[in-house]
Amino acid sequence: MFTTAFLDLAPLEEAGGTVVLPGSKSISNRVLLLAALSGGTTVVHDLLDSDDTRVMLDALRALGCSVVHREAAVEITGIGGRPHPNPPPEGEGAPSPSPAGGGPGWGRSARLFLGNAGTAMRPLTAALALMGGEFEMSGVARMHERPIGDLVDALRRLGCRIDYLGNEGYPPLKIHPATALQLDAPIPVRGDVSSQFLTALLMALPLVATTQDVVIEVVGDLISKPYIEITLNMLQRFGIAVKRDGWQRFTIPAGSRYRSPGEIHIEADASSASYFVALGALAATTDPLRIEGVGAGSIQGDIRFVDAARQMGATVTSGANWLEVTRGAWPLRAIDLDCNHIPDAAMTLAVMALFADGPSTLRNIASWRVKETDRLAAMATELRKLGAQVEEGADFLRVTPPTNWRAASIHTYDDHRMAMCFALAAFNPAGVRVRIEDPRCVGKTFPDYFETLFSVSRTSTPHVPVICVDGPTASGKGTLASEVARRLGYHYLDSGALYRIAGLAATRAGLALDVAHEHTIARMAEALDIVFTEGRVLLHGQDVTEAIRTEEAGMNASRVSALPAVRSALVALQQGFRRLPGLVADGRDMGTVIFPDAPLKVYLTASAAQRAERRHKQLISKGISATLPGLRADLEARDARDSNRAVAPLKPAGDALLLDNSGQTVEESVAQVLRWWEEKRSFS
Ligand code: DC
């Protein structure tokens, strides 16, 4: 997952290959709650691992459920599905045993933090209000701006006791044990603000449908019906057969009882699939884009995004749990569509509209205003930054594609879908750059979204940004370059390590490091099997991290690096590190030989005295003894060899920016390089 302040996307050109998508958020959180309400253990396969499911799991644990991660599955042991209608007498506060036997009971009181997960907040509110107990429910600031009043009204009418701790109608909430429940009359709930209110009641009311049918009546039109379908489907899997009369009346039959299916598989998230369906429509020009885990057999409403994408020109074939997409019509065809049935995936259409042959209108999307952010306003603002003309209505959006694309830094409003759909703008035909601010927000539903996107996206090499940091030994290149890479979310190449490894391999093979063995060492260097992983370096599977860091290994690296054939042998390997989203490379000839077209080259210097002192501190801290004069003499000898060799001698590239860091802290040099980088990428 990218946890950087922003992620710069190079202009992207083509897409193709296979992605396996993470589990559905909506199904995951419904299954978790239903498993918790059931007796016995439910083994959940392919559960989404993201912010929203994590807060649900934490809540269930806090309530006394057992949650065990076993290999790829999660085992939830629930409470056996019977509420405690009255608080226990003093001294009997411990959870009651599960009627199913063996399972844990609900905690009698808990404070739950639910982040920004509507799929946790709403259903848990209903379940806990009916369960009995003292509970406090809160979330992030935005969660406290997302309405819950209609659900609370419905629950209060039943006899539940819920207080608002902040603003009327919004979390945080305090839940007290219910008084006598009124279940005779139909329970009215509004359906036109969020379908999650109805979902919450449907999932919680089986708890109390013991001796009589419980009826829910939807007031006003019901939005997002496909999500209710998911709810009903999941309830069915857990033994609750809800009777539905149209979309107005739902009956939970008397004697309903949650029964764990034992094992359950979560299908991949259809909303997450929308980005890759769109990607195929935009850029799968040679190979198809194959999506695995969700397909035509999906129970998720957002699978119907596929129809909308087809309408815009995508060519899509499908099986029960896969989709294959290629570009069809190009430019895409503009659409005018009622999107009420695909509220989340419709955001992806708004970005696809940038690539259409005329203005597109997305209608009936007022619910966007109460999601992770006011998505109508956010979408309009950010699309305009890219050069689109946008009309924002109360419940619609009209997007006219840009005539002049502009590079843009996209604000993401802590909304995963803003980040995910706007990443597709990187495929713009003008080749302008797109920056995604706060990319970590995708963690809500798809932590590895950008990695997955890059794995199936291609662009010509010159588009992949490289920052070179060259300089003499012990100038602090490695520290500077790896930190810059970390801040930008780019890959990092320590080219010196490659020469150190080549030197080590040659020495271990008993070769003298001289011209007589130049070609043998070069062939060896070409065949090196090197893996950089989590700060370790593996050579042919063996950990050589420490072995290549000694002073002797540095000197040997300097010797082999003076052999032209060895240098040539390592060129392709080094250039192979230039991958999306970008690279920071440090060495001696990054800017002069390996990446001569790099948009930013830094040449780092520091006085020999300074460098010797830094190296001295480094060695002493590792418990290795060394003397200052000795180190300085070594440094100067290496400088001399590296600078005077015939090929790729150490020298600044003509277009390098010089940075003397003798008097700077690491943070100061990092800030300087990041400033230079910013100056090269201005956004409107
Ligand atoms: O950066 P370092 O100290 O790990 O590099 C070890 C030696 O490798 C250095 O003395 C010269 C050589 N080298 C090189 O010639 N070209 C590079 N790009 C990187 C290192």
DSSP result, 361-423: EEES-GGGGGSSS-HHHHHHHHHHHTT-EEEE-SS-EEEE--SS---EEE--TT-HHHHHHHG
Query: From the CA of 581, how far away is ligand 1's center (Å)?
Result: 25
Give me the pLDDT at residue 648, please.
87
Range list of H helices, 209-298: 225-237, 270-283
* For the chain, percent of residues with pLDDT exceeding 70: 96
Give me the pLDDT at residue 622, please.
84
Least confident of 78-82, 268-272, 623-627, 655-659: 78-82
Sheet hosting strand 73-77, strand order edge to edge: 66-70, 73-77, 41-45, 263-265
Whether 93 shows a pLDDT value over 60: the answer reads: no
**Closest ligand 1 atom number to CA of residue 586:** 18
* For the chain, percent of residues with pLDDT exceeding 90: 86
- Given the residues 8, 52, 269, 344, the one annotated as active site: 344
Q: Which residue has the tokens 């015939």?
A: 646
- The three-class DSSP label of residue 558 is helix
Of residues 200, 186, 205, 115, the one with CA closest to residue 150: 200
642 labelled catalytic? no
**Which residues lie below 8 Å from residue 396, measured CB to CB, with a gap of 6+?**
361, 362, 363, 364, 365
* Pocket around ligand 1 at a 6 A CB cut-off: 473, 495-496, 499-500, 554, 557-558, 561, 587-589, 638, 642
| Average pLDDT along the chain | 93
Q: How do residues 483-493 score in pLDDT, each as one tens digit?
A: 999 999 999 99
Average pLDDT on 120-143 reads 95
- The three-class DSSP label of residue 577 is coil
Query: From the CA of 609, how far away is ligand 1's center (Å)?
Result: 19
Whether 458 shows a pLDDT value over 90: the answer reads: yes
Give me the pLDDT at residue 107, please.
65
Query: From the CA of 138, how far away is ligand 1's center (Å)?
Result: 54
Give me the pLDDT at residue 17, please.
98
Structural domains for the chain: 6-22+270-458 (3.65.10.10), 25-265 (3.65.10.10), 462-680 (3.40.50.300)
Whether 100 shows a pLDDT value over 60: the answer reads: no
Instruction: Give the length of the chain.
Output: 684
Give me the pLDDT at residue 103, please.
36
Average pLDDT on 375-394 reads 98
**Closest ligand 1 atom number to CA of residue 473:** 3
Average pLDDT on 388-410 reads 97
Query: From the CA of 463, how far away is ligand 1's center (Å)?
Result: 26
Q: How do residues 551-604 score in pLDDT, each as one tens digit?
A: 899 999 999 999 999 999 999 999 999 999 999 999 999 999 999 999 999 999
**Closest ligand 1 atom number to CA of residue 562:** 15
Q: How do residues 496-538 score in pLDDT, each as one tens digit?
A: 999 999 999 999 999 999 999 999 999 999 999 999 988 899 9
User: pTM for the full model?
Assistant: 0.90
Whether 49 shows a pLDDT value over 50: the answer reads: yes
**Closest ligand 1 atom number to CA of residue 555:** 10
Which of 513, 558, 618, when mutated, tests ligand 1's pocket best, judged by the most ligand atoms within 8 Å of its CB?
558
Q: How do residues 142-190 score in pLDDT, each as one tens digit?
A: 999 999 999 999 999 999 999 999 999 999 999 999 988 999 999 999 9
